[in-house]
Structure 1
Amino acid sequence: MKYIFLTSCLLASQICFAQYNYPKTAEKPATDDYFGNKITDNYQWLEDLKNPEVKTWFKAQSDYSHSIIDKIPNRDALYNRMKQVQEMGGDSYGYAKQIGNLYFYVKTKKNEKLSKLYTKDISTGKETLVFDPETYKKDAQITNFTIDSKGNQIALLFSKAGSEICELRILDVKTKKFLDDVLAPIWSEFNFEFTPDGKYIIYTKMSTGDPNSNMLLKEMKAMIHQIGTSQDKDIVLGSREEYPELNILTEQFPKVSFTNDYKSIILKIGSTKSENPVFYAPFSSIKDKKIKWKQIIKSSDDIIQTYISGDQLFFLSHRDSPNYKIGLTSLSNPDFDNAKVIVPESSSVITSIHSSKNYLFYSLSNGITQDKYQIDLKTLAIKKVPLPDGINHSNAFNSRENDHLQCYNSNWLTPGTFYDYNPENGKAVMSKYFNGDSSYPDYNALYEVKETEVKSHDGTMVPLSIIYPKNIKMDGNTPAYITGYGGYGISYTPRFSNRLSVLLEQGVILAVAHVRGGGEKGDNWHKDGMKAKKSNTWKDFIACSEYLVSQKYTSPSKLIGNGASMGGVLIGRAITERPDLYGAGIVEVGMTNVLRSQNSANGANQIPEIGSLKNPEDTKYLIEMDAQSKVKKGMKYPAVIVSTGMNDSRITPWEPAKFATVLQNSTSSGKPVLLYANYENGHFTSDQDVVFHEYSDIFAFALWQVGHPKFQPLKK
Structure 2
Amino acid sequence: MKNVFLAGCLLLSQIGFAQYSYPKTPEKPVTDDYFGTKITDNYQWLEDLKSPEVQTWFKAESDYSHIIIDKIPNRETLYNRMKQVQEMGGDSYSYAKQRGNFYFYLKTKKNEKLSKLYTRDISTGKETLIFDPETYKKNAQVTNFSIDSKGNKIALLFSQSGGEICEIKILNLQTKKILDDTLSPIWSEFNFEFTPDDQSIIYTKMSTGDPNSNMLLKEMKAMLHKLGTHSDQDIVLASREANPEINMLTEQFPMIEFSEDYQYIFLNIGSTKLESPQFYAPYSALKDKKITWKQIIKASDDITQTFIKGDQLFFLSHKNAPNYKIGLTSLSNPDFDNAKIIVPEGNAVIKSIHNSKNYLFYALNNGITQDKYQIDLKTLAIKKVPLPNGVNTSASLNSRENDHLQCNNSNWLTPNTFYEYTPQDGKVIKSKYFNGDSKYPDYNASYVVKEVEVKSHDGAMVPLSVIYPKNMKMDGSTLAYITGYGGYGISSTPRFSNRLSVLLEQGVVVAIAHVRGGGEKGENWHKDGMKAKKPNTWKDFIACSEYLVDQKYTSPSKLIGNGVSMGGVLIGRAITERPDLFAVAIAEVGMTNVLRSQNSANGANQIPEVGSLKNAEDTKYLIEMDAQSKVKKGVKYPAVIVRTGMNDSRITPWEPAKFAATLQNSTASEKPVLLYVNYENGHFTSDLDVVFKEYSDIFAFALWQAGHPKFQPAKK
Q: Which category of TM-score, normalised to the shorter sequence, fits these structures?
A: over 0.9
Query: Does the 8 Å contact 1:518/1:529 carry over to 2?
Result: yes
Q: Secondary structure at the match of 1:286?
A: helix
- 1:284 to partner: Cα distance: 1.1
Q: Contact conserved, 1:481 with 1:510, CA < 8 A, in 2?
A: yes
Say if 2:676 is the partner of 1:711: no
1:205-284 to 2 correspondences below 5 Å: 205-284=205-284
Corresponding residue for residue 631 of structure 1:
631
Letter in 2 for 1:163: G
Name 1:9's counterpart in structure 2: none
CA contact (8 A) 1:16 1:713 kept: no
Query: Distance in 2 between the 1:165 and 1:464 partners?
Result: 36
Q: Shift of residue 489 of structure 1?
A: 0.1
- SS of 2:464's equivalent in the other structure is strand
2:104 aligned partner: 104
Alpha-carbon separation, structure 1, partners of 2:50 and 2:330: 52
1:294 — aligned with what? 294
Question: What aligned pairs does 1:600-619 form with structure 2 within 5 A after superposition?
Answer: 600-619=600-619
SS in 1 for 2:56: helix
1:394 corresponds in structure 2 to 394
1:514-553 to 2 correspondences below 5 Å: 514-553=514-553
1:283-320, CA deviations, whole angstroms, 9 ceiling, x for partnerless residues?
11112110011000000000000000010000000011
For 1:113-162, what per-residue CA distance to the aligned partner results, in whole angstroms no more than 9, with x for missing partners?
Answer: 00000000001100000000000000000000010001110000000000
Give the Cα separation in 1 of the matches to 2:614 and 2:197. Answer: 48
Is residue 175 from structure 1 mapped to residue 175 from structure 2 by the alignment?
yes
Amino acid aligned to 1:473: K
For 1:565 and 1:390, the matched residues in 2 are separated by 27
Give distance in 2, aligned partners of 1:405 and 1:18: 59
Percentage of matched positions with identical amino acids: 82
CA distance, structure 1, for counterparts of residue 671 and residue 16 of structure 2: 12
- The correspondence of residues 33-432 of structure 1 with structure 2, limited to 5 A, is 33-432=33-432
Matched residue, 1:433? 433
The runs of at least 4 consecutive aligned structure 1 residues that moved more than 3 Å come to: none
After superposition, residues 517-596 of structure 1 pair within 5 angstroms as: 517-596=517-596
Alpha-carbon distance in 2 for matches of 1:258, 1:81: 45
Distance apart, 1:17 and its partner CA? 1.1
Letter in 1 for 2:46: L
- Kept in 2, the 8 Å contact 1:416–1:495? The answer is yes
Deviation (angstroms), 1:16: 5.0
CA distance in 1 between partners of 2:378 and 2:683 (Å)? 43
Q: Distance in 2 between matches of 1:198 and 1:63?
A: 50
Q: What residue in structure 1 maps to residue 688 of structure 2?
A: 688
Give a deviation string over 1:602-661, Cα, whole Å, max 9, x none: 000000000000001000010000000000000000000000000000000000000001
Q: Structure 1: state its 5+ residue gaps.
A: 1-14
2:26 is aligned with 1:26 = yes
Between the aligned partners of 1:665 and 1:209, the Cα distance in structure 2 is 34
Contact 1:29 1:40 in 2 (8 A): yes
Task: Determine the C-alpha separation between the residues in 1 that align with 2:157 and 2:338.
Answer: 41
| Alignment-mate amino acid for residue 407 of structure 1 | C
How far the C-alpha of 1:368 sits from its partner, in A, is: 1.1
Q: TM-score if structure 2 supplies the norm length?
A: 0.98
In structure 2, distance between residues paired with 1:669 and 1:179? 58
Amino acid at match of 1:183: L
Letter in 1 for 2:538: W
Describe the SS at the equivalent of 2:590.
coil
Q: Helix, strand or coil: the match of 2:502?
A: helix
CA distance in 2, matches of 1:183, 1:441: 45
8 Å contact 1:643–1:677 — kept in the other structure?
yes
* 1:703 partner letter: L
Paired amino acid for 1:499 = R
Secondary structure at the aligned position of 2:572 is classed as: helix
- CA–CA distance in 2 between the matches of 1:75 and 1:576? 29
Letter in 1 for 2:229: T
Q: CA RMSD in A?
A: 0.8
Distance (whole Å) between structure 2 residues aligned to residue 467 and residue 400 of structure 1: 42
Give me the whole-angstrom Cα distance separating, in 2, the residues matched to 1:443 and 1:424.
35
Equivalent in the alignment of 2:677: 677
The aligned residue for residue 4 of structure 2 is none
* Cα distance between partner residues in 2 of 1:536 and 1:400: 44
**In 2, Cα distance between the equivalents of 1:285 and 1:151?**
26
* One-letter amino acid matched to 1:166: C
CA distance in 2, matches of 1:406, 1:288: 38
Q: Aligned partners of 1:276, 1:203: CA distance in 2, in Å?
A: 18
What corresponds to 1:452 in structure 2?
A: 452
**Alignment-mate amino acid for residue 81 of structure 2:** R
For 1:286 and 1:16, locate their aligned partners in 2 and report how far apart those are by CA, in whole Å.
Answer: 67
Instruction: Tell which has more relative contact order, 1 or 2 (C-alpha 8 A, sep 6+).
Output: 1
Secondary structure of 1:214's partner? coil
Aligned twin of 1:653: 653
Paired AA for residue 704 in structure 1:
W
Superposed CA offset, 1:77-116 (max 9, x none)? 0000000000000000000000000000000000000000
Amino acid at match of 1:233: Q
> C-alpha deviations, 1:204-227, integer Å up to 9, x for none?
000000000000000000000000
| Alignment partners' CA distance in 1, 2:505 and 2:227 | 52
- Partners of 1:368 and 1:694 in 2: CA distance: 29
Deviations 1:646-689 (A, max 9, x none): 00000000000000010000000110000000000000000000
Give 2:7's aligned residue.
none
Matched letter for residue 426 of structure 1: G
Whole-Å separation in 1 of the counterparts to 2:549 and 2:574:
15
Q: Are the aligned partners of 1:203 and 1:256 in contact in 2 as well (CA < 8 Å)?
A: yes
What displacement does 1:18 show? Answer: 1.8
Q: Aligned letter for 1:461?
A: M
What SS does structure 2 have at the residue aligned with 1:495?
coil
Q: Which amino acid letter does the alignment assign opposite residue 176 of structure 1? A: K
Q: Tell me which amino acid in the other structure corresponds to 2:232.
A: D
Does the residue aligned with 2:287 lie in a helix, a strand or coil? Answer: coil
Per-residue deviation, residues 55-98 of structure 1 (Å, max 9, x unmatched): 00000000000000000000000000000000000000000000
TM value normalised by structure 1 = 0.98
